[in-house]
Chains A and B, each alone.
Chain A
Amino acid sequence: MNTVNITIDEKPIKAEKGSTIMEAALANGIKIPHLCYQKGLSIAGACRVCLVKIKGRPGMTASCTTEVAEGMEVTSTDEELNEMRRLIVELILSEHEHNCLVCENNGQCDLQDLAYELGIDKIRFPVNKSVEPIEDSSEVILRDPNRCILCGRCVRACAELTVQKVLDFAARGSKTYIIAGLDQPLVQTDCVSCGACVQACPTGALTEKLARFQGRSWEFRKVQTTCPYCGVGCQLKLNIKDDKIVKVYGVEDGPDNKGHLCVKGRFGFDYVHHEDRLISPLIKRNGKFEKASWDEALNLIVTKFKELKNKYGSDALAGLSSAKCTNEENYLFQKLIRACFGTNNVDHCARLCHASTVAGLARAFGSGAMTNSIREFEKADVILITGSNTTETHPVIGDYLKHLATYNGTELIVVDPRAIELIEYAKIWLRQKSGTDVAWINGLMNVIISEGLYDKEFVENRTENFDKFKKVVSKYTPEKVEEITGISKEKLVAAARMYGKADKGSIIFAMGITQHTTGTDNVLSLANLAMLCGNVGREGTGVNPLRGQNNVQGACDMGALPNVYPGYQSVSDEQAKEKFEKAWGAKLSPKVGLTVVEIMDAASKGKIKGLYIMGENPMLSDPNLNHVREGLRNLDFLVVQDIFLTQTAELADVVLPGVSFAEKDGTFTNTGRRIQLLHKAIPNIGDSRDDWKIITEISERMGYPMVYRSPAEVMDEIASLTPIYGGVHFDRLEGQGLQWPCPSREHPGTPYLHKDKFTRGKGLFTPVDYIPPAELPDEEYPFLLSTGRILYHFHTGSLSRRSKPLDSIAPEGFLEINPQDAEKLKVKDNDWLRVSSRRGKVEVKAKITDRVDKGVVFMTFHFAESAANLLTNDALDPVAKIPEYKVSAVKIEASDYIDS
C-alpha cells in the first residue's frame, strides 16, 4: 500500500494514497461530522458539514472530497468550524419541522446527533411548517419528505448499489425534492424493494414501513447472523425487541454483501414469527395429526426405524438432509444415516441444483465449488454469465454485476434463452435454444482455437487431454452451432473474441446450465472453456457456480451426499471408510447410496420403507410431483422435521418441529466457500427443538449416542475428519469467516482455488458432444417449458410465502408466454390457462412478455397452487442424476378455472 503522512489535529497518520481526508480520519477513529458522505457510495460533497481547515490553504475545505497529500496538516474541529457547521445544520433544520418524538430513527439519526453535538438549542431562521404527504405505496418502504435533508444518499444507494436508478432529485433551489421514477408512488416504479435507500438514509425520511412504531434503536437487541435465503451469505444485523425481529440491516463489513441486501434478506423474516410455526411434535393417527410429546414422538420414530431396519435391512432406510440447515446439522444427519441407520442413502436438494457442477468440476479440476471469491468479480475484465438470472436468484451478486458493468467497465456476456434483466447491462447477449449449451460452448472454443486466442502455455503446462478435446471441438464451426442453437455466427464469434482476448475472464453459471440431462456435460464444457483461455487459478477468473441455497455448499461439504463422506471423501475408498469407521465407532456400508430422485423411485417400488426428511420439501421441489407423492405415500414410515407443515410434512407419520435460522447457532458455507457464523438471536418458538439436538436424541435412542455440548464441538469433530475444513473452528469465524480449503489452524483460508496446481494435479479437458434434451416439443405438446425462480420468493415458498410483504408483492404464480404465441392461442394477460405435460397438469395465469422466445414458456416453482413440478420431467443426467427441470414439453389451453 502506498501511503502518505498527514496530521489530523496534530495526530500523525499514515493515510492510503488517493484516499480522502474523511476516509483517513474515519480509519483512524477521528470523527469528522458528515451527512451526505457514506462509505461505499460515490462522493457528493453536498452537505458541507465535513468542512475542515488545511494549513496553508485559505478558508475551509470539504474533507470528503479532498485527497490527502504528503505533509498535509488538517484541523478537524475548532470553534470557527463548529460555528460554520451550526449555521449549516440550522439551515437544514429550518427547511422542515423535524419532530423526533414519533420518528422511527430517533436515536440513530445523523441529523439529531449532529444538532445535539453542536448544541443547537434554537434555530435562528424561520422554520417551514408546511407538511407534505407521506408516500406509503410500497409494501416495505415508507417515504416521508418532511424528514428529508436532501443529502442524496438514497439516490446514490439506488443508483450505485442496486443500480435501479429509481430515485433522483427533482426541481431546484429551495424547491428541490426527491422523486421516484416520474414523480410516482414507489409501487409504480422499477423499485425492487431492496431497501438500500432505507439503510442509506441518515434521518427518518426513508423507513421500514412494517417496523413503524415497533421500536427504536435503543430498544433493540442487535445480533449479527447470516442470511438464510440464497447462497450469497449476506451478513445481517437483526434488530430484536421482545424476542421479535423488527428490522434488519446489512452489515457494512460483511465480506460478500458489504452492507447490501435484497428484499428477502431485509424484509422477508416475519415468517420466523408466523402463526403457522410448528410448536410441538405431531403424530398422525387415523389420517389426522395430533399433538404429541417429544418422548412419545421420538420413541415412535425409534421403534419404527429399528423395526424397519431389522425387517428389511439398513438399505430400506434413507434420509434427506437440508441445504437450509447448518453444517453441524448436516454433518450429524449424515452421520446418523451412515453410522446409526447403516446406509449411504443420504442426499439433499443439491442433487436438484448443482449435482452436475459437483460432478463436472470435480472431474475437470478436482474440486466442485466456485473456484474464485464473489468479490473478485471486480478484478475480471470480462464475465460470461450463463443460465443464471442473477438479479433475481442471487440479487446481491446481481446488483454487484450491474454495478461493475455500469461503473467499472467490466464487460458482460450473457447467454440465456430468456431476456433476463442482465442483458440490459451486457455487451453481448446470445439467445440459445434451451438445452443446446454444449453446442454453443464448443462453438466459442472452436473460434478461440481457430483464431489462436487460447492460452497455449497454460494448456501445455497445466492441463491434459487437449488433443482429443480439440478434435471434438473442431466439428463445432460457427455455422453448425448456429444451426443447433439459433445463435447467429457473427454474435458467437464476437463473444468468443471478447472472452478469448480478455486477460481475466470469469464464468458465472447456475441452474440454466446444470438442470439438464446433459448437466455434467455442460459444466465440463465450461471448465474446458476456462482452461483453454488460462482462466483458472488466478484472481478474478475461474468457473463460478452460484449455489442456490444458503447452505447448499455446506451440506455438500458435510457429505450429505450418497457417494461421499464429509470433505468429498469417497465412500468406496477403503481408506476413507476405515478412517470414518474408526472415528465414528461403527461399521459403515461400502455401497454408494441412492440419490433424491432414486429414493423417491425406490419408495414407490417398495424398496425404501422408512424415510427421515429434515428441512426439505420434495413435494414441491422435485420433478414429476405425482410420482413423488406416489413414492412418499408408499412408505411404511415417514418422518419430517421442519418449521412449517409443508406439502411434504402433510404426508408424514410424525412431524418434528425444528427451529429457524434466528433460533440457531452454527455455520453456513456460502457459494464462495466462505464458512460464516449464525448467532442465536431469539429463543426457540413454542416447544420446537434445535435440529442438531433432535438428531442426537434420535441417535441416542437408537442406541448410538452422539454427545456434543454445542455446535462448536460438532465443528471441532468436522475439522478433525475433513481436511478442507481442518482449520475451521468457531473461535476463528467472527467477522470475515473462512474460505475452504483451510487445512490447519494457522491457515488463512483460500480465496481462489487451483493456484499453480489443480486439486487433481493437471486440469482435465473432456471432449463433449452435443446431445439434445430428453423431451422436446412435438405436435401433442408443442411448447418448451422452463422453470426457475423470481426475486420475491424462495424455493418452495415455505418461508417466503409466509412473509407478508413478500407474498403481498408476489402473491401468485404465472406462466410467461411470448406475445405471438399468446395471440395464436387467443390468450390475454391474466387469463387462466391449463398447462399439461405427459406427467401432470396445472392451472395458472398468463403473463404475456417477450422475455420468453416464441415456442417457449416459463414458470416458477414457488407456488403450490400452480406447482410447476407437476409438469417437469424426471429424466436424469446419467452421471450426476440431476433432473431436467429446464426442458420439458407442454401443451397450453384456455381454462375455465375461476380464482377462488
Chain B
Amino acid sequence: MKLRDKEKDVIALLSEAQRESKHNYITEEKLKLIAQEAGLSYSEVYGVATFYSLFSLKPRGEYIIRVCDSGPCHLMGSRSIFEVLEEELKIKVGETTPDGKFTLEETSCLGICDEAPAMMINEKVYGNLTPQEIKKILKRLREKKW
C-alpha cells in the first residue's frame, strides 16, 4: 500500500500538538484534528499516539522527570533515585503531582552511562545523580515561575 502524502506527517503533528499543550499531552480535540489533517481515521491516529511512549493522551506535569532504568544506571543505584523522587514528590511512577508541576516516568538508556545514574527532565539530561543533587534540582524547578 502506498503511503499517502500526509500520512507520514502524523508523528510530527502529534509532537507539535503535545508541545503546544501546557500539560505535555495531546488532547482529544487535537487527535481528531490531526486525523482529519493527515487523512487517517481516529483509530489509526490513536494507534500511533499510543505506540510511542513519549506521547501522552493524559495531562502530565509541566516537568516530566524520566529516570533511566537500564542496566548501568540500575547497577549505579537508580532504584534509590526513584525512591527519593517518589518521596519528595509524593507520587508513584506514572503519576503527576496534584499541583500539575511534575510527572514521574521511567525511561530506557539515555546514552550517558559514564554518568550513571541519570535522568532527564523535559529535554535536559542530568547525570551523576545523588539524593542531594536531586533535591537541589527539584528546589530550583519548584521556585521557577510557570
From A171, A179, A407, give the contact of B1 (CB < 8 A): A407
From A159, A182, A189, give the contact of B28 (CB < 8 A): A182
A171-B50 in contact (CB<8A): yes
9-residue interface stretch from A161-169, A451-459, A548-556: A161-169
From B1, B46, B51, give the contact of A182 (CB < 8 A): B46
Contacts A182-B28, A182-B31, A407-B1 hold; do A165 and B44 have CB atoms under 8 A apart? Answer: yes
Give min CB distance, A150 to chain B, whole Å: 12
> Can you name the residue of chain B whose Cβ is closest to the Cβ of A406?
B1
Q: Report B-chain residues with C-beta under 8 Å of the C-beta of A179.
A: 43, 46-47
Give min CB distance, A618 to chain B, whole Å: 42
From A168, A190, A407, give the contact of B46 (CB < 8 A): A168
Which secondary structure dominates where chain A touches chain B?
A: loop
B43-A171 in contact (CB<8A): no
State in angstroms the CA–CA spacing of A407 and B1 once bound together: 7
> Is B41 part of the binding interface, using a Cβ–Cβ cutoff of 8 Å?
yes
A189-B46 in contact (CB<8A): no
B51-A168 in contact (CB<8A): no
B41-A171 in contact (CB<8A): no
Give min CB distance, B4 to chain A, whole Å: 10
From B40, B43, B50, give the contact of A167 (CB < 8 A): B43
> Is A707 part of the binding interface, using a Cβ–Cβ cutoff of 8 Å?
no
B43-A165 in contact (CB<8A): yes
> Can you name the residue of chain A whose Cβ is closest to the Cβ of B41?
A165
State in angstroms the CA–CA spacing of A119 and B3 once bound together: 42
Q: Report A-chain residues with C-beta under 8 Å of the C-beta of B44.
A: 165, 168
Q: Report B-chain residues with C-beta under 8 Å of the C-beta of A165.
A: 40-41, 43-44
Q: For chain B, which range describes its interface: under 10, 10 to 19, 20 to 34, or 35 or more residues?
A: 10 to 19
A168-B1 in contact (CB<8A): no
State in angstroms the CA–CA spacing of A183 and B46 once bound together: 8
Q: Report A-chain residues with C-beta under 8 Å of the C-beta of B51.
A: 169-172
B1-A181 in contact (CB<8A): no
Q: Report A-chain residues with C-beta under 8 Å of the C-beta of B31.
A: 182
> Can you name the residue of chain A whose Cβ is closest to the Cβ of B49?
A170
State in angstroms the CA–CA spacing of A171 and B28 once bound together: 16
Q: Report A-chain residues with C-beta under 8 Å of the C-beta of B40.
A: 165
Q: Report A-chain residues with C-beta under 8 Å of the C-beta of B42.
A: 181-182, 189-190
> Can you name the residue of chain A whose Cβ is closest to the Cβ of B43?
A168
> Is A297 part of the binding interface, using a Cβ–Cβ cutoff of 8 Å?
no
Which residue, B28, B40, B41, has most C-beta atoms of chain A within 10 A? B41
> Is A180 part of the binding interface, using a Cβ–Cβ cutoff of 8 Å?
yes
State in angstroms the CA–CA spacing of A166 and B46 once bound together: 11
B28-A168 in contact (CB<8A): no
State in angstroms the CA–CA spacing of A181 and B32 once bound together: 10
Which residue, A42, A168, A407, has most C-beta atoms of chain B within 10 A? A168
State in angstroms the CA–CA spacing of A168 and B43 once bound together: 5
Q: Report B-chain residues with C-beta under 8 Å of the C-beta of A171.
A: 50-51
Contacts A182-B28, A182-B31, A407-B1 hold; do A166 and B43 have CB atoms under 8 A apart? Answer: yes
Q: Which of B54-102 contact A (CB under 8 A)?
A: none
> Can you name the residue of chain A whose Cβ is closest to the Cβ of B52?
A172
State in angstroms the CA–CA spacing of A180 and B43 once bound together: 6
State in angstroms the CA–CA spacing of A159 and B47 once bound together: 14
Q: Report B-chain residues with C-beta under 8 Å of the C-beta of A172.
A: 50-51
State in angstroms the CA–CA spacing of A882 and B31 once bound together: 48
> Can you name the residue of chain B whose Cβ is closest to the Cβ of A163?
B41
A-B contact pairs, 14 of them (CB 8 A): A164-B41, A165-B41, A166-B41, A166-B43, A167-B43, A168-B44, A168-B47, A170-B46, A171-B51, A172-B50, A179-B43, A180-B43, A182-B32, A190-B41
Which positions in A face B, CB cutoff 8 Å? 42, 159, 164-172, 179-183, 189-190, 407
Q: Which 10 pairs of residues, A with B, have the shortest CB-CB distance?
A: A165-B41, A168-B43, A168-B47, A170-B50, A181-B42, A171-B50, A182-B42, A172-B51, A182-B46, A169-B47
Name 8 extra pairs, CB < 8 A, besides A165-B41, A170-B47, A172-B50.
A165-B43, A166-B43, A169-B47, A170-B43, A170-B46, A179-B43, A180-B43, A182-B43
